[in-house]
Amino acid sequence: MKMIEAIIQPSKLEAVKESLNEVEVVRLTISDVQGFGRQKGHTEIYRGHEYTVNLLRKVKLQIAVNDEFVEPTVNAIIKAGRTGEEGKVGDGKIFIMPLQDCIRIRTGERGPEAI
């Protein structure tokens, strides 16, 4: 079992969700996050006062999958999460982590069954 965490552009959320749906990954958790990396920030002006905003809005997906689903999930996110053909700085990252256990609260099932 693996935990996949992906940080993506907020505008790509719908496309990524659809793309994941196509490979039958239908369980995910989404949160609004802020962060910065190579994309740097932008400036905002309020009554002539300029602010450099280097914390940018992103969306984070958390998807717990069984091992055979890892590659299709990653590919689906890459396919739909890129800006344009080439992709752009700021399109985000995917992290894959080992998942020690998984428990379904309703039934108490454990392991791959519960995912």
Partner 1 sequence: MRRLVLMSCATVMLLCGASTWAQDTPGSAAPVTPAAAPAASAAAPAPADKPKTVEERLAAVEALAKAANDSVSENALNTGDNAWVLVSSALVLLMTLPGLALFYGGLVRKRNVLSTMMQSLMIACLVSLLWAFIGYSIAFGPGATETVDKKDDQGHVLKDDKGVVQTETKALPSASFWGGFSYACLDHVITDSSRTKVELSTDKDGKVSIKTPPGALVPGAYAPYCASINHGTYMLFQLMFAIITPALICGAYAERMKFSAMCLFSSLWLILVYCPLAHMVWGENGFFNWNFPAVKSAAFDFAGGTVVHISSGVAALMTALFLGKRKGYPHTPMMPHNLTLSFTGAMLLWVGWFGFNAGSALQANGLAVIAFANTHFATAAAAIGWPLAEWIFRGKPTVLGAISGAIAGLVAVTPASGFVTPMGAIALGFVAGVLCFTSAGVMKHRLGYDDALDAFGVHAIGGMWGAIATGIFFSIDTNPAIQSANPDLYISIVNGTTSVVLGQAKAVLVAVILSAVGSSIILAAIKYTLGLRVTKEQEDEGLDLSQHGEEGYVLSG
Residues at the contact surface with partner 1, assessed by CB under 8 A: 44-49, 51-53
Cβ 51 to partner 1, closest distance in Å? 5
Q: Provide the minimum distance between the beta carbon of 38 and partner 1 in the complex, in angstroms, as a whole number.
A: 21
Distance between start and end Cα atoms, the chain: 9
Nearer to partner 1, 49 or 101 (CB): 49
CA-to-CA distance for 11 and 27, rounded, in angstroms? Answer: 20
Q: How far is the CB of 10 from partner 1 (least distance, A)?
A: 19
For residue 114, give the DSSP letter.
Answer: G
With respect to partner 1, which residue has the nearer C-beta, 45 or 89?
45
44/67 with CB nearer partner 1? 44
- DSSP strand E in the chain: where? 2-8, 29-35, 42-46, 49-53, 56-65, 92-98
Rounded Cα distance between 18 and 67, Å, is 21
